[in-house]
Amino acid sequence: MMWALPQKKTAPMSTEVNPRLELANRIAIEAGKITLKHFRNSALNVVKKGDGSPLTIADQESETFLREQIAASFPDDAIVGEEYGTTEGTSSFTWILDPIDGTKSFISGVPLYGTMVAVEQEIPGGNRESLIGSVYLPGIDEGIFASQGNGAWYFTGDQSPTRAEVSKTESLSDAVLVTSEVETFGERSFGNGDAMSVYSRLAEATWYSRTWGDVFGYLLVATGRVDIMIDPILNVWDAAAVQPIIQEAGGRFSDWSGTSRIDAGEAIGSNGMLHKDILQLISKSKGE
C-alpha cells in the first residue's frame, strides 16, 4: 500500500526524509501483517525474557523483516530494535523499531497491538527526538504516521489518510486518561516511594480512565478519541514512533518533567492543553 504523501507547503520534506517516511510506512504495514499468521494461533510459543516480558516468533520475524528492508534501502543508517539490539551506521540517521508493541495483548488474542517504526537524526548536544513515526495495528487495520513539520495522518484499511488531530478538551475533569498497566506505576521508584500516587491523582482528576494502552493509547490521543496517555516505564522503541505523531497531531509528548525526548524511560502524550495540569499533578505526587 502506498499513498501520495500529504505535506504542508510551509514545510517541504527534504530529499532525505521523504524516502525514509515512504519506506517506514510501507514496512510498518508489511511487518504488521507478518504477525497476523501467528495471532490467535493456539500453537504460538511464548518465551519470557529476562525482564519478564513476553517474546514470540512473531516479534522476531517482524523485526528481521524490518531490518532487512532498511538495510537494503539505507545501508548506512543505524538500526535499534527491541529484539536484536543495535546495528551501527555511518549516516546521521537511526531507525528505531518495535516489531510488536503490546505483546501481552498479542499473546492474549487482543488486537490492540502495533508495529512501530521511527527514524531519528543525530543532533549534537540536543535531546533525542524522532523525525519520523509510523505505526500500524494489523489486528484492527488502522495506522497513523507523521514527520516533523508535515502533520500526522490516520488511515483505516485502504482508505486515503486523513489529517489526525488531538482533542480540544480543556479541563482534566472532562478528560479521558489511558495507560498500559496500572501495576507498572507501583514498580517505578518516584520521590519517597513509587509512582502509584501519580496514577491515583490523575485518575481522580480526570473524567474516567482505561487501560487501552501501549501504542493504541497514543493513537487514541493523536486522533482525538482520548485526551491523555501516560507511561511510567518504557523504552526508547516504545516512544520513538509516537513522539512525532502526537506532536504533529497538535498535541504534546514529553517526559514527566515536561522535556520533549524519547529516551527518558517515561512519557506523557496529551492534547497539549492539559499538559501543564498533568505536570503539576506529577510534581505534587513527587513531593509527597
> Residue 104 — very low, low, confident or very high, per pLDDT cuts 50/70/90?
very high
Q: Per-residue pLDDT tens for 207-238?
A: 999 999 999 999 999 999 999 999 999 999 99
pLDDT tens column, 194-210: 999 999 999 999 999 99
Using an 8 Å Cβ cutoff, are 197 and 204 in contact?
no
Q: What CA–CA distance (Å, rounded) separates 72 from 70?
A: 5
Q: Cell digits for 241?
A: 514512533
Which residue carries 502509584 as its cell?
196
Tell me which amino acid residue 125 is: G
Q: What band does 49 get if pLDDT is binned at 50, 70 and 90?
A: confident
pLDDT at 48 over 50: yes
**Of 136, 125, 151, 130, the residue nearest 28 (C-alpha):** 136
User: One-letter amino acid identity for 100?
Assistant: I
Average pLDDT, the chain: 93
Over 90: is that where the pLDDT of 33 sits?
yes
Q: Where are the beta strands (DSSP E) in 26-112?
A: 47-48, 54-55, 78-81, 85-87, 93-101
> What letter would DSSP give residue 69?
H
Q: What is the maximum alpha-carbon separation in the chain?
A: 52
The amino acid sitting at 257 is: S
* pLDDT recorded at residue 172: 98
Residue with cell 514545510: 11
Q: pLDDT for 134-160, tens place per residue? A: 999 999 999 999 999 999 999 999 999
- Structure confidence at residue 13 as a pLDDT band (50, 70, 90): low
Lowest-pLDDT range, 6-20, 34-48, 53-67? Answer: 6-20
pTM to 2 decimal places: 0.93
Q: Tell me: the pLDDT tens digits for 54-97?
A: 888 999 999 999 999 999 999 999 999 999 999 999 999 999 99
* The predicted structure's pLDDT at residue 37: 94
Domains along the chain with CATH numbers: 17-163 (3.30.540.10), 172-286 (3.40.190.80)
Long-range Cβ contact pairs of 2-7 (< 8 A, separation 24 or more): 2/26, 3/155, 3/160, 3/161, 5/150, 6/150, 6/151, 6/153, 6/161, 6/163, 7/150, 7/151
CA dist list (Å): 274 to 180, 239, 245, 247, 277:
19, 20, 17, 14, 6
User: pLDDT band at residue 12, thresholds of 50, 70 and 90?
Assistant: very low
pLDDT value, residue 7: 47
As a whole number of angstroms, the distance between CA 117 and CA 12 comes to 21
Contact criterion met (CB below 8 Å) for 245 and 218: yes
